[in-house]
Every structure is written in structure tokens, then in C-alpha cells.
Amino acid sequence: MKKKNNSFKLVVMAVLVFGLIFGVVTITQNWGKNPRTVDSETAMRKLDNLYSKLFVNKPAPKPDPTFQGNDESAEKIAVLPDISEYPFIVNPTTDNFLTVYASAEKSDWMIDVANTFNKSGATVDGKPVSVGVRAIPSALAADFISSGKYTPDVYIPTSEIYGNLLGNAGIEATLVEKRLAGNAAGIVISKKKNDGLGASTGAAIIDSVLDGKLALGYTTPLSNENGFTFILTLLSHFDSSDPLSTTAIGGLQQFQDKILFISYDNDQLKSSLNGGTLDAIVLDYQEYNSSPNLKSAYDFIPFGTRQDSPVYTIGQLPELKKQIVSQFADFCKTPDSQGAATTRGFNGLDDYTGAAVLPGDAIAKVQEIYQKEKNGTSDLTVVFVVDVSGSMEGAPMLNLKASLNRTIGIISSNANVGLVTFSDDVTIAVPIGKFDNTQRSYFSYAAKNLIAGGGTAMFDAVVVGQKMLMDAKAANPNTKVLLFVLTDGEANRGMGFSDIESMTRGLKIPVYTIGYNANIEILQELSNINEAATMNADSDNVIYRLESLFNAQM
């Protein structure tokens, strides 16, 4: 009897030991993992299961009989926002005044210094003078000026890059002051990550990304000065003697293969950094220096050309305005004005010399190179998931159609594109296909004939779009896949967010969301899963902003 009891105890002990070992192994296997994360195989099984439960309409696509291609350059002026969307942040106070376009990062400082100037009693030939300032991003202001749609007296961009671009476009932009407030672009990198890497230069950062040791995000160089400075630096890193060479372009392609996230503005970029997936982002020092949370947890490594807010006059100004320019520039450089700039985060990297600025023709060529090579060595497959429920009726539907129509002129003919619509159920309006003239015609017809009505099965449609993309990736593993969801965000049919969250994380498909009168919070949750971006489409300049977003990714 005693022997039996001992045997029983041994069995119990063995079971307990096995359970303990199994538990430890299970726990250690999941250390550091997001509890909501599933592996790709599990995610694919769930995707197939969810898709099998859906009824999906698959009508034959129809060509648009009026479609004749799209001349993007001819539409460039038309798509620019109205200047009223960028009102004066400082109003002129006299009959004789300058109109100034100043880049957005200088807004607070410009409000201080320009208002003070206007109150100073400045005169020219006995006539009271003042300035009126609009805060406009450097790239957009350059578009305004080069298009001839809106022309200021004075242009104060972030750097000489944009002045050189205007000169290359045939605009008379005369540099009258090289620096109003000191600044530079750079890499903001996690201190913890950098302790392991020991990166102290932009070159070291680039090499770390290429080696797969660093997850980096940046803003699109097509509309953001920090991103533009970074790409110029990147090409020079790969070939310092000729940043436009095939060697430099090949390096850019390889680098782009490693990039997780390209944002359309700094706010989206900083939000993604907070999400935890990125180790580093491209940002300017002034914004870093003005953000205590960034300074406490991140290092700053400067790179590229300086961003010192040069001053340009545009066209032939009358003598009176030239004298106002001179007075205002001198006023901005007084000790009091510079002290205010320093308080706002400027003038913090005066020991950084910076790289030489390329001539305008080379800078314009870099824009062309980036537009062509931004997807690296991969091709691109995109599915647009579009809300046609009853809540989209009216202005949201008109804006959505305009957005899709603009997309036709942005996406490369080498990309693969599909279109899904949803209301009570889901329809594959245009199956994925190479975006040649035939596919563009199908896309144009579908976009023009969208009609609002019914409920909102948004997450059902997301599943359908994801299934299309994963099937495309199975057929072509080298393709980069993106999902764009254009909606009011109020799902009231079919699946919910919780049904697809872990699966989406496992599939690793970035989901970019554009909200029309939307529940932006749920769209942000959806985009944040895989470090994508959310845009509120209710802003006045939605078409221009959407173009920036689409250009950043496609």
C-alpha cells in the first residue's frame, strides 16, 4: 500500500513538474509580445474564415466611355487650395505693407515679431509701413508661387532648397537674407535604442536602417521640408560625387525596402513614434527642442542642409517695398527678436554647419527620382475601400468622388489597383489589375457612379480588401500592399473592430483611413494597428491634403 502511495506521489510530482515547465516555456515564448498579436499563418486562417462567411458582389467592371486619360500637370493649379484657407496670422496695419508667406514651423515666432514690428511705428519716406503674414508650408507656398495662382512679396521658407526650386521653375526669387532663425533637420532616435547602436551621424543611422537594426519613419519629401532634406541627404550618402547617379538611386531603392512608414505631415509622424513600432523619425530641431517629452526620451542627430529660414523677394518689387523688406529683416535679427526665436526652440544648433544646397535643377530631379523610386525594389498593390452608405450622401460623397478622381492622375501605371464599395453588403467594383488605361477607365466609371444608400458594413469591406491584397501578395511576394479606407467610420452592419484587430496586426497590411464626417477615433485605431495614417477629410483643403497622402504612399 505504501509503495502504491509513493508511485501515486511520483506521478503527481511529474505532472506538476511538466505543467511548471510547460507554463514557463509558454510565458517566456510570449515575453515582449503584444497580447493582441497573432502570427501570419494564424492571421491568414482567420482571414479566410471571415471571408468565407461573407456574400461579396462581383459585377463585371465597366469602362468609362468619356475617359481620355489624365494630364496631371494640367490639373495641378486647379487642385491647389484657396488662399483663404491660409488666412493672415498677422494682419497688415497700414496702406503700404508686405505680404509674407512664412513656413508653418515659424508661426508662433512670426506672430510675435511681426505684430511687434507693426506696432513699432516703422516708416519709409515718412509713410507708415507694416507686414501681413500667412503661415503656409514651404512646399505648398512654392506651388502657389510657381503656379502663378498666388504670389507674395516675400517668401520665407524653411531652407534655400525651396528658393532654388523656384529659380529652376523660372520664378524671380531673390535671396536677400540667408538666416532669420537657426534650425536644422535631423533624426530623432530613442535614447534606449541609440545606446545599443551608438549612432552619432546621419550616415550611421542610414546604415542601421539598411542593416535592419533600426525602424525609421519620415515625412513625404513631396510636401514636407524635413523629408525632402532627408532624401537629398540619403542620395548624397550613397554617392557623394553625384547624388543623381544610378549608384545613388540603387541605394535609395534598397533603403526604401526597409522603411515602415512614410507620413504626410509631422503630426502623423510623431503619433506613429508614440505607437512604439518606430525607433526613430525625421524631424527638425526646433520641433524637437520645443517638445519636452521628445527631449527626455530621444536623441537628436542633425543632417543635411541647414533650415535657417532665408528671405526671398518675389518678382520686381517697387523701391518702397524693398525698403520694408530690409527693415523687417533687420527687425527679425534684433536681440529681442532673436531671443524670442530661441525661446520658441530655434537657434539651438549654431555649431552645425550643414551640407551645401544643390542647384535647383538637381533638386527638381531628386523630386522626380523619389516619385519613381519611393517603393524601392517592390511593385505596389493598392485596394481602395469606399463607403457608399446612406450617411455619405451629400457633401461627403462629392468630396469622396473628387478624391478618387484625383487619384487616377497620381498612381503610377505600374501599380496594381482595385476598388471595393460597401453599404449593407460589399461589392468588388474593380478587381485588382495593372493601372493601365483600361484599369483607369474601369476605376473612373466606378467612381463616377457611386450612389449613397443603406447601412455601413465597413469591417466586412476591410476583410474583403485584405483578402484581395493577400491573394495578390501570394501571387507576387515582392509586391507592397496598401489598403485605403474612405468612410464616415460609423460601422453598423456586420463585423466590428474587435473581430479584425488581431488578424490585421498579423497580416501587417497598413490601413490608411480617410474620414468624412467621421468617427475619427475608430479610424485612428484601425490605422494605428500597422503604423498607417488617418486623415480628417472635412478640412477645406481636403483634395490637396489627400494628394499629399496618396503621393506619400503611391
- φ/ψ of 75, rounded to 5, equals -95, -5
Could you tell me what percentage of the chain is helix, strand and coil, using 3-state DSSP and rounding each to the nearest 5?
A: 45, 20, 35
CB-CB neighbours of 398 under 10 Å: 12
Of 275-279, 336-340, 459-463, 492-496, the range with the lowest mean pLDDT is 275-279
DSSP 8-state assignment for residue 83: G
pLDDT value of position 369: 92
Mapping DSSP to helix (H, G, I), strand (E, B) and coil, where does residue 398 land? Answer: helix
- Per the document, the length of the chain is 554
- CA dist 335 and 337 (Å) reads 6
C-alpha R_g of the chain: 27
Mapping DSSP to helix (H, G, I), strand (E, B) and coil, where does residue 217 land? Answer: strand
Task: Say yes or no to pLDDT of 470 above 90.
Answer: yes
pLDDT value of position 38: 76
Look up residue 337 and give its amino acid. S
Long-range CB pairs of 125-128 (<8 Å, 24+ gap) are: 125/320, 125/323, 127/94, 127/95, 127/96, 127/320, 128/93, 128/94, 128/95, 128/96
Average pLDDT over residues 347-366: 93
For 17-41, the three-class secondary structure string (H helix, E strand, C coil) is: HHHHHHHHHHHHHCCCCCCCCCCHH
On whether the CB atoms of residues 156 and 102 are closer than 8 A, the answer is yes
Q: What would the grid cell of residue 471 be?
A: 491573394
Map out the domains of the chain with their CATH numbers. 43-63+378-553 (3.40.50.410), 76-183+308-346 (3.40.190.10), 184-306+363-372 (3.40.190.10)
Rounded-to-10 torsion of CA 403, 404, 407, 413? 180
Task: Say yes or no to pLDDT of 9 above 70.
Answer: no
Helix ranges (H only) for 32-137 are 40-52, 72-79, 107-118
Q: Catalogue the E-assigned strands of 91-215.
A: 96-102, 123-124, 127-135, 154-156, 173-177, 184-190
Contact residues for 229 (Cβ-Cβ < 8 A; gap 6+): 159, 161, 185, 221, 303, 304, 305, 307
Of 2-11, 92-101, 528-537, 538-547, the range with the lowest mean pLDDT is 2-11
Residue 539 banded pLDDT, cuts 50, 70, 90: low
Average pLDDT over residues 474-493: 90
Q: How do residues 248-266 score in pLDDT, each as one tens digit? A: 999 999 999 888 778 877 8
Q: How do residues 203-248 score in pLDDT, each as one tens digit? A: 899 999 999 999 999 988 888 899 999 999 999 999 999 999 999 9
Residue 496 banded pLDDT, cuts 50, 70, 90: very high
Average pLDDT over residues 418-429: 97
pLDDT value of position 33: 40
On whether the CB atoms of residues 221 and 271 are closer than 8 A, the answer is no
Of 188-202, 285-299, 452-466, the range with the lowest mean pLDDT is 188-202
On whether the CB atoms of residues 57 and 426 are closer than 8 A, the answer is yes
Task: Say yes or no to pLDDT of 286 above 90.
Answer: yes
pLDDT value of position 403: 82
% of the chain at pLDDT higher than 90: 65
Q: Looking at per-residue confidence, does 46 or 552 come out higher?
A: 46
Task: Say yes or no to pLDDT of 457 above 90.
Answer: yes
DSSP H or E stretch at residue 482: strand 479-487
Long-range CB pairs of 451-454 (<8 Å, 24+ gap) are: 451/388, 452/388, 452/389, 452/390, 452/391, 452/392, 452/393, 452/394, 452/397, 452/423, 453/388, 453/389, 453/390, 453/393, 453/423, 454/388, 454/389, 454/390, 454/423, 454/424
Q: How do residues 149-178 score in pLDDT, each as one tens digit? A: 899 999 999 999 999 999 999 999 999 999
Q: What would the grid cell of residue 62 be?
A: 465597366
Of 109-118, 201-210, 541-550, the range with the lowest mean pLDDT is 541-550
Average pLDDT over residues 350-362: 93
Task: Say yes or no to pLDDT of 14 above 50.
Answer: no
Closest by CA position to 89, among listed 80, 98, 102, 78: 102
DSSP 8-state assignment for residue 57: E
pLDDT value of position 389: 94
- Please state, rounded to an integer, the average pLDDT across all residues of the chain: 87
Q: Looking at per-residue confidence, does 522 or 134 come out higher?
A: 134
Q: How do residues 368-408 score in pLDDT, each as one tens digit? A: 899 888 888 778 899 999 999 999 999 889 888 888 887 88
- CA dist 337 and 343 (Å) reads 10
Contact residues for 135 (Cβ-Cβ < 8 A; gap 6+): 86, 89, 102, 103, 104, 106, 107, 110
- Sheet containing strand 261-263, strands side by side: 261-263, 216-219, 280-284, 184-190, 298-306
Q: How do residues 21-61 score in pLDDT, each as one tens digit? A: 444 333 333 333 444 557 889 999 999 999 999 999 999 99
Q: How do residues 294-314 score in pLDDT, each as one tens digit? A: 999 999 999 999 999 999 999
On whether the CB atoms of residues 487 and 513 are closer than 8 A, the answer is yes
Mapping DSSP to helix (H, G, I), strand (E, B) and coil, where does residue 180 land? Answer: coil
pLDDT value of position 19: 47
pLDDT value of position 196: 86
On whether the CB atoms of residues 392 and 452 are closer than 8 A, the answer is yes
- CA dist 376 and 479 (Å) reads 10
pLDDT value of position 553: 67
pTM strictly above 0.85: no
- φ/ψ of 227, rounded to 5, equals -65, -40
Average pLDDT over residues 467-481: 94
pLDDT value of position 351: 93
Residue 347 banded pLDDT, cuts 50, 70, 90: very high
- CA dist 288 and 270 (Å) reads 10
- CA dist 316 and 297 (Å) reads 48
DSSP H or E stretch at residue 551: helix 542-553
Of 34-43, 104-113, 220-229, 326-335, the range with the lowest mean pLDDT is 34-43
On whether the CB atoms of residues 151 and 278 are closer than 8 A, the answer is no
pLDDT value of position 552: 66
Of 134-138, 159-163, 277-281, 467-471, the range with the lowest mean pLDDT is 277-281
Closest by CA position to 345, among listed 137, 159, 183: 183
Average pLDDT over residues 411-436: 94
Average pLDDT over residues 88-106: 97
Largest CA distance in the chain: 118
On whether the CB atoms of residues 480 and 375 are closer than 8 A, the answer is yes
- CA dist 397 and 29 (Å) reads 48
Q: What would the grid cell of residue 147 be?
A: 503656379
DSSP 8-state assignment for residue 169: T
